[in-house]
A = this chain, B = another copy of it.
Amino acid sequence: MTRLIAIDWGTSSLRGALLHPSGQVIEERSDARGILTVPEGGFPAVFESLFGDWMRLEDTRCLISGMAGSKQGWVEAPYCACPAGRVEVGRSILAIDAIPGARIAIVPGLSDTHDGVPDVMRGEEVQIFGAMELTGLSDGVFVLPGTHNKWATVKKGRVASFRTCMTGEFYALLSRHSILARTLDADAPLDEAAFLEGVTRAENGHGLLHNAFGARTLALFGRMPKEELASYLSGLLIGEELRTQSLQAAGEVVLIGSPVLTQRYTLALRAAGVATRTLGTEATWAGLHALAGFLATDTSQP
């Protein structure tokens, strides 16, 4: 049995864990050297500086998910088309031979298509597989809030389809770079009442393009304090996101992400009568551990 160095290498940051053969986390690390900070050809050196000590432990191998497998990443691992489960993804894991003797491989992302428009994820598929392991669920709706949120429908252990919502990026743009930024405090802590007011407002049928302006005028007329406006805007956006999902079909939603985000989705989904359960980084490690079984045949060749 070998130890696994599990890495989720994203656009703006990365996280790694050294896993015991059983899947238990021995040690965790995180770093700001997301793929956009790595110069061309610089991945082996960055990897060595971050995880070289772990790689020199006896009998270890490494599996990397996330944007490291994108065109701008270390090695491009072409997307697996949905429906895809652990088997399809596991079979497409790509060995990296940039570091001689090191057993490093990259997990491909998933693609889907809706009426001719593609959709993509990289890294979230691993979290979904991990969440299936941890919850025992092989059917359901899995939601991964972030900059680009993923809503995935899982059927019989495979991701049947998914959609991306740019909710996190819209929040950053509006709260920091739009006219709304002048009158709201993007870093204010969550105000649950203002957040839920935004969630409810999002259902009024007038659309985000109109409702967002309310976060400006409520401030102009002194009708909502500065500290609450960011929560209200966040509620408008997440409410808009929920508005376009088939929630009645969901029953229960599995949320995977940071507590700051999953807390908000839990509140909004609960208000819509949808139960949730929540997972964090443990889903990534469980997913990479589950996929490591596919490594033997793919990367242990001389």
Q: Among B178, B201, B207, B244, point to the contact of A205 (Cβ < 8 A).
A: B244
A243 CB to nearest B CB, Å = 7
Q: Which chain B residue has the least Cβ–Cβ distance from A176?
A: B177
Do residues B209 and A240 form an inter-chain contact, with CB atoms below 8 A?
yes
Query: Given A206-B244, A207-B241, A243-B207, is A118 in contact with B218 using a C-beta cutoff of 8 Å?
Result: yes
Q: Which chain B residue has the least Cβ–Cβ distance from A212?
A: B166
Over the window 254-296 of chain A, the binary record of Cβ atoms lying under 8 Å from chain B Cβ atoms (1 yes, 0 no) is 0000000000000000000000000000000000000000000
Query: Given A116-B223, A118-B218, A174-B173, is A166 in contact with B213 using a C-beta cutoff of 8 Å?
Result: yes
Q: Which chain B residue has the least Cβ–Cβ distance from A169?
A: B178
Could you list 24 A-B pairs, sorted by A, with CB under 8 Å? A115-B204, A116-B223, A117-B217, A118-B217, A118-B218, A118-B223, A119-B213, A119-B217, A120-B217, A120-B220, A148-B213, A164-B210, A165-B210, A166-B178, A166-B210, A166-B213, A169-B178, A170-B212, A173-B173, A173-B174, A173-B177, A173-B178, A207-B243, A209-B241
- Which of A's residues lie within 8 Å of B, judged by CB? 114-120, 148, 163-167, 169-170, 173-174, 177-179, 201, 204-210, 212-214, 217-218, 220-221, 223, 237, 240-241, 243-244
Do residues A167 and B243 form an inter-chain contact, with CB atoms below 8 A?
no
Q: Among B116, B148, B214, point to the contact of A117 (Cβ < 8 A).
A: B214
Query: Given A173-B177, A177-B177, A179-B169, is A244 in contact with B210 using a C-beta cutoff of 8 Å?
Result: yes
Residues in B whose Cβ lies below 8 Å from that of A163 = 206, 210
Do residues B164 and A213 form an inter-chain contact, with CB atoms below 8 A?
yes
Q: Which chain B residue has the least Cβ–Cβ distance from A163?
A: B210
Q: Which chain B residue has the least Cβ–Cβ distance from A120?
A: B217
A272 CB to nearest B CB, Å = 15
